[in-house]
Amino acid sequence: MRGLITICARGGSKGIPGKNIKLINGKALIAYSCEVAVAFAANRDIDIVLSTDSTEIKTVVRSLGYDNIDTSYERPDFLANDTSGKLDVIVDVKTYFERKNDLKYDFIIDLDVTSPLRSVIDLNCAMDLLFKNEAALNIFSVSPANRNPYFNMVEEKEDGFYGLCKTGQFLTRQSAPKVYDMNASFYIFKKAFFDQGYKTVISDRTLICELPHVCFDLDHPIDFEFMSYLLENKKLDFEFNY
């Protein structure tokens, strides 16, 4: 099978300025995604591409010395703002490289730069789950949720009062249906997912891959500080063994 790994990193970031190339534990954040992409693609028929609007990000990625990461694509301005959807970004770079290489990819793997705690083992596990299920269209990484909409999450109702987000009479969180947080670390799509024109990463035939280790997204400056501390002091239940 022919695959494509996308590493999407726009230049603008209001939450954490320059976060995609900000140093964390001695190297640029984007380097972690590049490293696992190269390790996973080894001995496989997989192209790796960078999607960015930033010359500075391209320079950092090129400086890593990976000849098999293609940095030729220029992300258009309309896909490089706060309102751009991730799936639209993936579709655009996928289309560009399919036309460039005159082929159709059998699968796409997107590695989110801001959620770097994933390994080749995680990706192999997710690929196995996805392709062993002929009906499934895509899979993404999740972590156990700390809050549960059946038990301790509320929303406003039509009458202005508040109630549980999901209907149920559960007296403990443990007895409520299990729910998960999408941790954004990776998304894997079969070709058929794109052929059917889905507008979000959740289809009617989506699977999940629960990661067996801590994984969280870097959205705010404090998130970056937390992860920096945990990595530098070896406090995580995870190691970057590629």
What is the average per-residue pLDDT within 76-95?
89
pLDDT in tens, 104-141: 999 999 999 999 999 999 999 999 999 999 999 999 99
Give the model's pLDDT for residue 128.
Answer: 98
Greatest CA separation found in the chain?
59
Select the highest-mean-pLDDT range: 67-81, 99-113, 157-171: 99-113
CA-CA distance, 68 to 95, in Å (whole number)?
Answer: 19
Please tell me which residue, 40 or 77, carries the higher pLDDT value.
40
Domain boundaries defined on the chain: 3-144+181-232
Q: Smallest Cα–Cα separation from 51: which of 76, 15, 24?
A: 76
Calculate the CA 26 to chain-centre distance: 22
pLDDT in tens, 4-39: 999 999 987 766 778 999 999 999 999 999 999 999
pLDDT in tens, 42-52: 999 999 999 99
- With 80 as the cut, is the pLDDT of residue 82 above it? no
6 and 110 in contact (C-beta within 8 Å)?
A: yes
Considering the segment(s) 3-144+181-232 as one domain, its CATH architecture is Alpha-Beta Complex (3.90)
